[in-house]
Amino acid sequence: MGKSSILVLGITVAACSSESSTTFTDCKIGELTGTWRVTYTETDGTCGPLPSETASFNPGKQDPAAANCTFRTNTISADKCRADQDWTCPTTSGRGTSRWTGVTTHSTTNTLSSTLTLQLTDPSITCRSTYTVIWTRL
């Protein structure tokens, strides 16, 4: 994926979800804070591997990179264990867009898991991939 940088995440942890086989019930999607390590595993598609990254979340303070993003869907379940999302951001090159759709669930106190599909459209690359994303609080 070296041809174009994209805003990968930094938006999603603000919402999580719980269709998990575990019995974790202390979900807090929309209220999570702190610093998280985000790792991506491509499960299918043509975009290729994405590097791990660190994301910080502070309630009431929007990530400057997310300011230019547009949400079509950002629905948090009543129990704050699941987030259904669909958002589009400009690529860091400013010449294209990255659209992310999927579900995030709150698995344990310090772990979130997502299945997210990326549709990247940029003059230098067009691709579509699905990733398993693990968020681990640092």
DSSP per-residue codes, 12-25 = GGGS-B---SS---
- Which of 54, 59, 60 is closest to 138 using CA atoms? 54
Q: Quick one: pLDDT at residue 37?
A: 95
d(CA 98, CA 136): 23
Can you give the pLDDT at residue 51?
A: 95
Sequence letter at residue 17: S
Q: What pTM value is reported for the model? A: 0.78
Q: Give the Å distances, CA to CA, from 89 to 18, 97, 102, 109.
A: 25, 6, 15, 29
pLDDT at 68: 83
pLDDT, tens digit (0-9, with 9 covering 90-100), for 73-130:
989 999 999 999 999 999 888 899 999 999 999 989 999 999 999 999 998 889 999 9
Please check the confidence at residue 4 and state whether its pLDDT lies above 50: no
Give residue 65's pLDDT: 58
The per-residue pLDDT for range 13-34, each reduced to its tens digit, is: 443 333 444 468 899 998 888 8
Structure tokens at 132: 């398993």
pLDDT of residue 44: 97
How do residues 46-87 score in pLDDT, each as one tens digit? 999 999 999 887 766 666 556 788 989 989 999 999 999 999
Q: 33 Cβ partners below 8 Å, 6+ apart?
A: 57, 58, 59
Which residues, in sequence order, are CB contacts of 82 under 8 Å at separation 6+? 16, 17, 18, 19, 27, 29, 76, 103, 104, 105, 106
